[in-house]
A and B are shown apart, each in its own frame.
Chain A
Amino acid sequence: MEKVLEGIGRSFLHLLQTLGRMGVFLCTALFLAVVPPFKSEHLIRQVHFIGVKSISIILLTAAFTGMVLGLQGFYTLRKFGSEALLGPSVALSLIRELGPVLSALMVTGRAGSAMAAEIGIMRITEQIDALTAMGLNPVKHLVVPKVIAGLITFPLLMAIFDVIGIYGGYLVGVQLLGLSSGTYFGEMATSVDMADVKMGFLKSLSFGLLVTWTCTYKGFYTGYGAEGVSRATTEAVVLSSVLVLAGDYLITSVMHVG
């Protein structure tokens, strides 16, 4: 009995410790982000890594997501004779939910895992200790550019995802299934509000912070050896994806728009 209580207490304390360490890690990174010196070269390299290299996968996912939304939406709406609402249904689901969430998940899989592995390997090969010994702050040097690059690239990738998805829906709904193009875009323009676009933007901003934060954290405090790094990478991807989905629900319920 005592052992069980001890175990519960220990794991609870461990959880608190992890949460606290994550919080301190984020605060340090955010604080160091506004303290000079600023190195634009690292930032540009990270924007290239997270943003530019993700474009192809974002284009692919967005096109197919939009197309399948168009297809499913068309056949469902036709039952009610309201195919005209295909444009709004595609655009709203993309702008409010799928754009931010799917682009965040894709980037997590492509760049988040690499981020965690990179920092994790630097940790186990003692390169991070070397940085400290040389008087460079490892958080400032490794983490800050990634977090800022995440904040820049996620909203941009989301916007690209939305636009490509809308044209994917157009391809299926208008070109393939014969809806009129005026109906598709006209109805879309009347039902999408600035509030929807803002909501998507806010979501992808928060996902950008969330994903880079968890992935760099997991890499920074990795376990020992190759096994430790592989576990850190897996945990980084799983935790980021879960946090993105949970955060999505939270933001939607807080910012509920019509």
Chain B
Amino acid sequence: MGRLNLEVLVGLFVLIGIAALAYLSIKLGKLEVLGSRGYTVTAEFDSIGGLKNGASVEIAGVEVGRVVGISLNNEEYRAVVTMRIRLDVKLQEDVIASIRTKGLIGEKYVAINPGAAETLIKDRGKIRETTSPVEVEELLGKYIFGSPGGEKPKP
């Protein structure tokens, strides 16, 4: 086999391999190659109850962005969730962000209910209205013991 032929084969192999790697990391690993396509907004929650980095942000069930960071506000002890939203999706000042669960035991995601205000949230803006997730354990506790937080009633 000639040297040229060999080189072409090796080149083809490397190309296919890199294409496969790129497919894995971009399509499945959600690696962002072209940097930030979108703008970031933050929202503060009392509790995020199991929300993970990379969880989706949805409006009316349609994915419009992802959670890119979760940190703690050290003064008020509230969770700060940073989200990256697609550029073509505009958020009004009075939207409500809430953390919900997909199905009964599915993963957590952020649902945004659209608002009606004239002004829009800018890049690095903040969503003021938030509701924390409903904890199934707490609900069960309430249901069984008739008191919040799963405390046992005193005899």
Contact = CB atoms under 8 A, between A and B. Distances in A.
Do A and B come together as binding partners?
yes
Interface of A: 41, 44-45, 47-48, 51-52, 55, 91, 95, 152-153, 155-157, 159-160, 162-163, 188-190, 192-194, 196-198, 200-201, 258
8 closest A-B pairs by beta carbon, nearest first, are A156-B17, A159-B20, A194-B29, A159-B21, A197-B29, A192-B28, A163-B20, A52-B13
A162 B21 CA distance: 9
A47 B24 contact: no
A10 to B, nearest CB: 46
Interface residues of B, number: 25
Nearest to B20: A159
Interface string B9-47: 110111011101101110111110000000000000000
A157 B10 contact: no
Contact of B23 (A153, A155, A163): A163
A239 B3 CA distance: 34
Contacts of A156: 13-14, 16-18, 20-21
A190 B13 contact: no
A157 B6 contact: no
B7 interface: yes
B49 interface: no
Contact of A194 (B6, B7, B14, B30): B30
A104 B130 CA distance: 49
B107 interface: yes
B31 A41 contact: no
Interface of A is mostly: helix
Contacts of B27: 189
A190 B13 CA distance: 29
B107 A194 contact: no
A197 B28 contact: yes
A47 B107 CA distance: 43
Nearest to B52: A258
Given A91-B28, A159-B21, A47 B56 contact: no
A95 B28 contact: yes
Nearest to A186: B63
A194 B10 CA distance: 27
B10 A47 contact: yes
B150 interface: no
Nearest to A88: B28
B54 interface: yes
8 contacts: A47-B13, A52-B9, A52-B13, A95-B28, A156-B14, A156-B17, A194-B30, A196-B29
A189 B28 contact: yes
A44 B20 contact: no
A57 B124 CA distance: 51
Contact of A155 (B3, B12, B17, B56): B17
Given A159-B21, A190-B56, 17 more contacts: A44-B10, A48-B6, A48-B9, A51-B13, A95-B24, A95-B28, A153-B13, A153-B17, A155-B17, A156-B16, A156-B17, A159-B17, A162-B20, A190-B107, A193-B30, A194-B29, A200-B24
